[in-house]
Chains A and B, each alone.
Chain A
């Protein structure tokens, strides 16, 4: 089964013009993929495990209130169309970023929420990393907690997954590093004492102790890009969404942890 999948993936990538031998040498085998959670200290794990101790739950609770609040010129709440999020949003975050037919490209969960606001609530978009957007995203994503990630399975997303992979593999910035140099080749090592990890985004938006806040995957990606001394992509840039999509496709079948806690 695993062999068949490997061959299928290799065939796909070959069709997309990738050099397969290099791929096999660098990518982490499916069976060895580990959530960032497994790299954490018992103390930090305990914070994530207990909803009454997990600070991310404060955003989830805010998100639940926002879900029911009427807003925009249409004076509609999310709940007026989607009703109980526990049913309607279950499993959604595991499929995101997802293909948007109108735009002809993938959108992430934050962008989907803002598209919904514009189209159905006639409300202004919430700024990236604002309390309200993080809260709504966390509330929606939490409805998928424990469900396996399937993002990137839609065949229409194939070219975008490939572009995200290209960004992940490409060396850039003053330090001339690619994401792959750390997160595929050295994930079991430590960068100035901190675990490198495998860059499998299972719990976003997540509470990062370093931030003392909830934050999005794009915020985390931009942090890494600052470290690499690259020209940082703007929030919502297609390149960042493609990278998000590729990372989620790497986390295929892993359970959603939102709201996760990380050091």
Chain B
């Protein structure tokens, strides 16, 4: 029993180790998750990649992409609507701002049910990927 509890603690610590700590202030995360600014060009490529899941729900200024979603607001102008810190929190943990949102928390491994083995213990995006996407979204100005 104690051993199992200790094992659980270790497992949680191990999964938490992959995630870098961040501080939420108001409705934003001011500091970069990696300590460095992201790469906006790479961020655009990531947004268009199916596995990132962004354009399943969002549309945006992507004339080359025929299949875009409309379950969520267009990403066009996101950089005018939100600061970099606000964009970061919206990717990391949108449910903190709206518990009913369908926007997944892209930097989270805890509190999820029945995650498939291929994805268990991993956030949807890495800290680097989130920073790249945040850097790109910040360039989308009206």
Residues of chain A whose beta carbon lies under 8 Å from any beta carbon of chain B: 170-177, 181-182, 185-186, 189-194, 196, 226, 229-232
Instruction: Tell me the bound Cα distance from A226 to B115 in angstroms.
Output: 10
Can you list 25 A-B pairs, Cβ within 8 angstroms, ordered by A? A172-B112, A172-B114, A172-B115, A173-B116, A174-B119, A174-B120, A174-B122, A175-B53, A176-B95, A177-B102, A181-B102, A186-B102, A189-B69, A189-B70, A190-B69, A190-B71, A191-B56, A191-B57, A193-B67, A193-B68, A193-B69, A226-B116, A229-B115, A229-B118, A230-B114
Interface residues on B, range: 20 to 34
Q: Name which residue of chain B comes closest to A171, CB basis.
A: B113
Please tell me which one of the listed residues A175, A191, A231 contacts residue B124 in the complex, with CB atoms under 8 A apart.
A175
Known: A176-B104, A176-B105, A177-B102. A191 touches B116 (CB 8 A): no
In contact, B115 and A230 (Cβ under 8 angstroms): yes
Q: Is B55 an interface residue (CB 8 A)?
A: yes
Q: Is B117 an interface residue (CB 8 A)?
A: yes
Q: Which residues of chain B are near A232, meaning CB under 8 Å?
A: 116
Instruction: Tell me the bound Cα distance from A199 to B117 in angstroms.
Output: 26
In contact, A174 and B67 (Cβ under 8 angstroms): no
Residues of chain B whose beta carbon lies under 8 Å from any beta carbon of chain A: 50, 53, 55-57, 66-71, 95, 102, 104-105, 112-120, 122, 124
Instruction: Tell me the bound Cα distance from A147 to B73 in angstroms.
Output: 40
Please tell me which one of the listed residues B69, B104, B118 contacts residue A175 in the complex, with CB atoms under 8 A apart.
B104
Please tell me which one of the listed residues B56, B69, B95, B116 contacts residue A174 in the complex, with CB atoms under 8 A apart.
B116
Known: A186-B102, A191-B57, A192-B50. A173 touches B70 (CB 8 A): no
In contact, B124 and A174 (Cβ under 8 angstroms): yes
In contact, B69 and A231 (Cβ under 8 angstroms): no
Please tell me which one of the listed residues A170, A191, A194, A231 contacts residue B115 in the complex, with CB atoms under 8 A apart.
A231
In contact, B71 and A174 (Cβ under 8 angstroms): no
Q: Which residues of chain A are near B55, meaning CB under 8 Å?
A: 192
Q: Which residues of chain A are near B70, meaning CB under 8 Å?
A: 189-190
Q: Name which residue of chain B comes closest to A189, CB basis.
A: B71
Q: Name which residue of chain B comes closest to A229, CB basis.
A: B119
Instruction: Tell me the bound Cα distance from A177 to B95 in angstroms.
Output: 12
Known: A190-B71, A191-B56. A174 touches B115 (CB 8 A): yes
Q: Which residues of chain B are near A189, meaning CB under 8 Å?
A: 69-71
Given A173-B113, A174-B120, A192-B50, 7 more A-B residue pairs with CB atoms under 8 Å apart are A173-B116, A181-B102, A182-B102, A189-B69, A192-B55, A192-B68, A229-B119
Q: Which 8 pairs across A and B sit closest by C-beta, in order of nearness?
A: A193-B67, A174-B119, A172-B114, A192-B67, A172-B113, A189-B71, A231-B114, A175-B104
Q: Name which residue of chain A comes closest to B122, CB basis.
A: A174
Q: Name which residue of chain B comes closest to A185, CB basis.
A: B102
Q: Which residues of chain B are near A191, meaning CB under 8 Å?
A: 56-57, 69, 71
Q: Which residues of chain B are near A171, meaning CB under 8 Å?
A: 113
Q: Name which residue of chain A comes closest to B113, CB basis.
A: A172
Instruction: Tell me the bound Cα distance from A51 to B95 in angstroms.
Output: 48
Known: A174-B124, A181-B102, A191-B56. A186 touches B115 (CB 8 A): no
